[in-house]
Amino acid sequence: MRGFQLGICMWGFPMQGPTGVRMAAEMGFAGAEIDLGPYENGYPLSNSRIQNEYRRVSRDFGIAITSIAVELLNRYGLTNPLDTRKGMIAMEGCRRAIDAAAQMEVPVVQLPSFNDGAILDEEGFLNTCEKIRLLCEYAEDAGVVLATENALSIGDSLRMMEEVNSGRFGLMFDTQNYFLAGASDTAQYLRELAPHVVQIHLKDGYHRKLSSALLGTGESGFMETAQVIRETACSEWLLLENYYNQEPLSRLDADQFEIVKKDVEIVKRIFEL
């Protein structure tokens, strides 16, 4: 079985920024996924001083920056046409993230498609594919891989891979998002999509609420999906994406770091880390 490494998505961690990455390293995480930051704040990770601080923490504390997320795409979606304000902000944000990844030697840029960027029709699908094709060309010289995170069906996910048709393009697989979008068997999604998976987000929930349960205690079929992760070994990186800093998970313990530790114990047991 391929060896796995455990990382954390910093937007769900109790402490943010480079200090949060240091604390994650001290808790034993091997990697951390960070966010570009909002358009309204000038894409903070574009700032070389901020990049250098993350690089210093990564080097000094032995924790990899696994990927950079462009969370602003959930507000300025790739579904918007190129000649609209939202479409232009989406493209600028993605290019900034690719540039930051190249400067920081981060291998993956994650492109989420939810909320404003949710792919709900053929027009949104084609607009998203068009932008990603252009971004894959932009990412070529940077040596960066782009990973879409979405809630498309298996068929449409495979169609997106064909439409984009780039060796710089893959999938950020999530263990709860497909269930929330109506899929009855997330494990089957992974069986079909495993060849395209770049990294994996681990989260769970109940009552159809995003990230509302410790891993394996919710209703998304996490344990079955985890078994397929083990069988396919489709990604080295397993990134915790439960929101330990938000309700209802944050209510489990006054010290939110203790909640993180509970999920770490679960992952270590399941994946024999």
Phi first, then psi: give them for residue 238, nearest 5 degrees. -110, 115
pLDDT at residue number 1: 44
pLDDT score for 2: 58
DSSP character for 53? H
Residue 11: per-residue pLDDT: 98
User: What gap in Å lies between CA 119 and CA 123, rounded to an integer?
Assistant: 9
Q: How many residues does the chain have?
A: 273
117, 191, 104: which is closest to 148 by C-alpha? 117
What DSSP element (H or E) covers 192? helix 186-193
Instruction: Please report which helix (H) or strand (E) contains residue 60, including its range.
Output: helix 48-61
Q: For the chain, 273 residues long, give each residue's pLDDT as a single digit of tens.
A: 458 999 999 999 999 999 999 999 999 999 999 999 999 999 999 999 999 999 999 999 999 999 999 999 999 999 999 999 999 999 999 999 999 999 999 999 999 999 999 999 999 999 999 999 999 999 999 999 999 999 999 999 999 999 999 999 999 999 999 999 999 999 999 999 999 999 999 999 999 999 999 999 999 999 999 999 999 999 999 999 999 999 999 999 999 999 999 999 999 999 999
Q: Is 13 exposed, middle or buried (0-12, 13-18, 19+ CB in 10 A)?
A: buried
